[in-house]
Amino acid sequence: MNLFKAIGFKLISALLFAALSALVRQLSEVTPVGQLVFFRSACAIPPVLLIYALRGELMEAVRTNRVFGQLGRGALSVGGMFTNFSALQRLPLADATAISFASPLITVALAAIILKERVRFYRWTAVLVGFAGVIVMLIPHLDLSHYVTSGAMAVATVGSIFALISAFCNAGTVIQTRRLTQSETTSSIVFYFSLVTALAGLVTLPFAWHTPTGSELLMLVATGVFGGIAHIFLTESYRYAAASVVAPFDYTSMLWALLLGYWLFGELPSGLVYVGASIVAGAGLFVIWRERQIGIQRRREAEGPRRPEI
């Protein structure tokens, strides 16, 4: 346990992921989504392999006993990344980030359905409340009567749908990751995630390609470097403290998204986005708190009754 390192690493990863989203938001005005996915994934591989090589974990990163499991997780990651970048192309940075907060709540529901985990009344209630918060955030963008017309409302509606699909894909990725961690190393999961998504982006390049300027190429490379390093900091944060301690700091990404969105694009979310994001974040924090309480209770039961001191 090293809370200073755990929280510090988590905050750095949240900042890097927010910076990555801001870069994608800016580049998406001229760069096809598939090209963004390719650079974000391919440029993440060298720094990840370098760091694992320096730590003597390079062979663990490329070795896997579950190829199809890695491919399945990679496919979900491909869906999540393409839809997330498509949402960032159409929505303000803070709106897309806020909707992504639904992912942990969807994970709870999928864990009950797919992994047969026991989900009690309190967590189901938190999930339902969280989804209500998502609906509140979507209200400004889901006026379907505008969908048939061309304009900002139709674009925002499509972007919101992409953001919600991305949240479901990311939740599915978490479920598959839980399965893989039973036999696979964290380094191999990170490596094959980057490899599969890079190949998926590569396939799209002959069909849609924008020749980047020097500054755009630098930003494209930065998306991969930021993403790769952010994943390493994220992984390391859970090495030094329990997930229930570290996970709440995920929500600092909303603060970074607000600051970067206003600074770079002059974007300010509507009041409903603030309300909905607060509801979703509150529901997510309650789930984390509940998990921590259950973990403490299980440890006490495993230890058995304490003997009285003599």
Question: pTM value?
Answer: 0.84
Is it the case that residue 196 has pLDDT exceeding 90? yes
Using DSSP, state whether 116 is helix, strand or coil. coil
Cβ contact 10:234 at 8 Å = yes
What is the C-alpha to C-alpha distance for residues 264 and 85, in angstroms, rounded to an integer?
17
Q: What is the mean pLDDT of residues 272-285?
A: 82
Q: How is the chain split among helix, strand and coil, in percent rounded to 5?
A: 80, 0, 20
pLDDT value at residue 76 = 94
Nearest to 40 by CA among 100, 95, 80, 97: 80
In tens, the pLDDT along 42-93 reads 999 998 888 888 888 888 888 888 889 999 999 999 999 999 999 999 888 9
pLDDT higher than 70, residue 171: yes
Residue 253 in contact with residue 18, Cβ under 8 Å?
yes
- Average pLDDT of the segment spanning 25-45: 94
pLDDT at 246 over 90: no
**How high is the pLDDT of residue 253?**
85
Q: 209's torsion region: left (phi>0), alpha (psi -120 to 50) or beta?
A: beta
Percent of the chain beyond pLDDT 90? 30
- The mean pLDDT value for 267-282 works out to 82
Instruction: Taking residues 245-265, report their average pLDDT.
Output: 82
Q: Would you call 5 exposed, middle or buried from its count of C-beta atoms within 10 A (0-12, 13-18, 19+)?
A: middle
Structural contact between residues 92 and 264, judged by C-beta atoms closer than 8 angstroms: no
HSE toward the beta carbon, residue 275, CA cutoff 13 A: 10
- The confidence band for 307, taking pLDDT boundaries of 50, 70 and 90, is low
pLDDT at position 195, please?
92
Q: What is the pLDDT of residue 28?
A: 92
H-run or E-run covering 186: helix 186-204
Alpha helices in 67-185 (DSSP H): 67-90, 93-100, 102-113, 121-138, 152-180
Two structure tokens written together for 282: 């509150």
* pLDDT on residue 142: 60
Return the closest-CA partner of residue 37 out of 92, 72, 78, 91.
78
pLDDT, mean of residues 160-189: 87
147 — pLDDT class (breaks 50, 70, 90): very low
- Cα 125 to the center of its chain, rounded Å: 23
Comparing 58-67, 83-92, 201-210, 270-279, which segment has the lowest mean pLDDT? 270-279
Q: For residue 170, what are its two tokens?
A: 């990311």
CB-based contact 75:173 (threshold 8 Å): no
Residue of 73 and 147 predicted with greater confidence: 73
User: Average pLDDT for residues 28-36, to the nearest whole number?
Assistant: 94
- Is 170 or 240 the better-scoring residue by pLDDT? 170
Percent of residues, the chain, with pLDDT higher than 70? 89
Dump pLDDT digits (tens) for 113-128. Answer: 887 777 777 778 888 8
The confidence band for 251, taking pLDDT boundaries of 50, 70 and 90, is: confident
Mean pLDDT of 87-103: 88
Residue 278's pLDDT is 85
Give the pLDDT band (50/70/90) at residue 271.
confident
User: For position 146, what pLDDT does the model report?
Assistant: 47
Mean pLDDT (the chain, rounded)? 84
Sign, Cα dihedral of 204, 210, 215, 217? positive
- pLDDT(149) > 60: no
Contact present, 197 and 74 (Cβ < 8 Å): yes
Report whether pLDDT(153) > 70.
Answer: no
187 phi-psi bin (left φ>0, alpha ψ -120 to 50, beta other): alpha
